[in-house]
Amino acid sequence: MAKAIMVQGTMSNAGKSLIAAALCRIFRQDGYRVAPFKSQNMALNSFITKEGLEMGRAQVVQAQAAGVEPSVSMNPILLKPTGDSVSQVIVNGEVLGNFSAQEYFAMKQSLVPEIRKAYRRLAEDADIIVIEGAGSPAEINLKDHDIVNMGMARLAGAPVLLAGDIDRGGVFAQLYGTVMLLDEEERPYIKGLIINKFRGDRSILTPGLKQLEGLTGKPVFGVIPYLKIDIDDEDSLSERLTGTEGLTQGSLARTVPEQADPLMPEYVRHQSLVEIDVIRLPRLSNFTDFSQLARIPGVCLRYVGSIREFGQPDIVILPGTKSTVADLLWLRESGLEVLIKKAAAQGRAVIGICGGYQMLGETLRDPDGVETGEGGLPQLVRGIGLLPVDTIFLPEKTRTQVRGEILSPAKGFDALKGRRIEGYEIHMGRSVIREGSGAEPFARLHAQTGGYSREKEDGCTAGTVCGTYVHGIFDADDLAWRLAESAVEKKGLRLTERAVLSQEAYRERQYDLLAASVRQNLDMEAVYRMLEEGV
């Protein structure tokens, strides 16, 4: 059976996921078979496996770092919030149902056998399992029946590294308080402490590190610097959602064509060529769909959550959401719906992904209360009306990996026609184009779920507006580049630079950079001793 090591944190977003990913890559580099594991994850960013099962993206990232195929055994329980106190509970990749926080707390012990079985499946084939905790192990109101922090450490017999986030302040209090709030029988599981996201001169920390070790009786294994690594984040705490993405500084250039209006101001270096506004919906899901766009030199990608932030984008994207109806009503109340319709009327491209695609249609119906059963939302809602599409929500969730080609790109983006796409669908609904509307399906797809496959049409295109159910659509081939290139050409300009590495090569390089930095700043000899000695 595999040896286990666990990464816990003093709080959410302390860096557990990335440290776990780094360890997965380091152990793989050192010749071991590695698998990531998180018994319970809460996130709206999810992924569909080849078997058509749903899991959290953090464990997908860690599996990629480990060089193994993502499996739901790596994340047997996934919670997807649908409101402030209700979540969809997914067990072994299948939807169990929607439960309130109190209902789930009462039932979660019954899920321990599923956690055990998933862990054992991984342990049969791996040399090392890197386990990630959730939130903090010192949430004293949640410690009873814990299945993801110390409860999981006990189940796996895993020694624990405890990480604190110095960037948010109070890291010594974080680490000391967490250790002291643990029960006497839990503290021995903590074998080492990590200071994460440090900026500055490490020598200044030395007196504090020694005092912390004296107070807690736990050695500090490392001080990991604040890393500029481009690896997909998982949840709404991501810094990507609070500002502008894209390489708007450095080796960017705009080129004025020879026949340009002589009064046109000369474009200078360090300016963006393409501006993309992604609407930051309250229940935004799978925002990693747009990571590849933000990596293109010349692209400025913003997450927009209010009318004040909405600029003059070349492209507007309505992303996926866990609660389409609620977020559509928010969009209407916030005033952003008016700006999106205005952008479309001006001939700007508007793209909807999954729930965003559903919003762009004429109507959304929910006769079974799939989405609107909680919170008293209306079962029939008017859509934004930019696509002649009607959507009906269905109880059964569509979960499948897909590949195919674009049939009808948005007007002005003809270079995308026939381009290969691939990704995955996660949605509870079916959208139908109105007969006689003149609109065209966006793509033709080959859907593969387990041993079953079929051909189907997807999405809708009408003028400069299009929508699709496919997540990850911009990751395949050079679709993101072609989209940006077409947007630039509409201005009579051209992109002058292109990424040299493929997406896969770029991703692998980022994992290697992450591993190199963590290896340099973490006492790996002590980590390996942890593995050998256990608890």
81 residue type, one letter:
P
Q: Are strands 349-353 and 465-468 parallel, antiparallel or unpaired?
A: parallel
263 residue type, one letter:
L
Among 24, 460, 466, 471, the active-site one is 471
| φ, ψ dihedrals at 508, nearest 5° | -65, -40
109 residue type, one letter:
Q
* pLDDT tens-digit readout, 221-230: 999 999 888 8
Tokens of 461: 């295109």
Residues 6 or more apart whose CB falls under 8 angstroms from that of 195 comprise: 163, 164, 166, 171, 175, 205, 209, 220, 222, 223, 224
Walk across the sheet containing 3-9 and list its strands.
Answer: 34-37, 128-132, 3-9, 160-165, 190-198, 220-225
Q: Which long-range contacts (CB under 8 A, 24 or more apart) does 253-256 make?
A: 253/496, 253/497, 254/298, 254/493, 254/496, 255/493, 255/494, 255/496, 256/493
End-to-end CA distance of the chain: 16
Tens digit of pLDDT at every position of the chain (535 positions): 799 999 999 999 999 999 999 999 999 999 999 999 999 999 988 999 999 999 999 999 999 999 999 999 999 999 998 877 889 999 999 999 999 989 999 999 999 999 999 999 999 999 999 999 999 999 988 888 899 999 999 999 999 999 999 998 899 999 999 999 999 999 999 999 999 999 988 888 999 999 999 999 999 999 999 988 888 876 544 555 555 554 332 222 222 333 333 333 333 333 578 999 999 999 999 888 998 898 888 889 999 999 999 999 999 999 999 899 999 999 999 999 999 999 999 999 999 999 999 999 999 999 988 888 766 788 999 999 999 999 999 989 999 999 999 999 999 999 999 999 999 999 999 999 999 999 999 999 998 765 567 899 999 999 999 999 999 999 876 899 999 999 999 888 887 666 556 778 888 999 999 999 999 999 999 999 999 998 8
Torsion angle, alpha carbons of 491, 495, 501, 506, to 10: -50
Residue 241: what pLDDT? 56
User: DSSP code of 227?
Assistant: P
User: DSSP code of 518?
Assistant: H
Among 354, 427, 460, 466, the active-site one is 354
Q: Collapsing DSSP states into helix, strand and coil, what is residue 140?
A: coil
Domains of the chain: 3-39+113-231+507-533 (3.40.50.300), 252-496 (3.40.50.880)
Q: Collapsing DSSP states into helix, strand and coil, what is residue 106?
A: helix
Q: Which residues partner with 129 through β-bridges? A: 4, 35
On the CB side of 213, how many CA atoms lie within 13 Å of its CA? Answer: 14
Helices (H) and strands (E) in the chain, counts: 14, 29
On the CB side of 529, how many CA atoms lie within 13 Å of its CA? Answer: 7
d(CA 460, CA 465): 8
Q: Are strands 389-392 and 430-433 parallel, antiparallel or unpaired?
A: antiparallel
Q: Which residues partner with 278 through β-bridges? A: 303, 317
345 residue type, one letter:
A
Residue 260: what pLDDT? 36
Positive or negative: CA dihedral 445, 449, 450, 452: negative
Walk across the sheet containing 420-427 and list its strands.
Answer: 420-427, 398-406, 443-449, 452-458
Residue 254: what pLDDT? 27
| Cα 281–chain centre separation | 14
User: DSSP code of 50?
Assistant: T
Overall size of the chain counted in residues: 535
Tokens of 320: 């996926």
Told to judge if 354 belongs to the known catalytic residues of this protein, a careful annotator would answer yes
Q: Collapsing DSSP states into helix, strand and coil, what is residue 489?
A: helix
Element (H, E) at 147: none
Residue 371: what pLDDT? 84
Residue 246: what pLDDT? 47
Q: Collapsing DSSP states into helix, strand and coil, what is residue 467?
A: strand
User: DSSP code of 39?
Assistant: S
Q: Are strands 46-48 and 54-56 parallel, antiparallel or unpaired?
A: antiparallel
Distances in Å between the Cα of 11 and the Cα atoms of 87, 134, 158, 175, 371 are: 21, 8, 20, 10, 31
User: DSSP code of 142?
Assistant: T
Q: Cβ(192)–Cβ(153) under 8 Å?
A: no
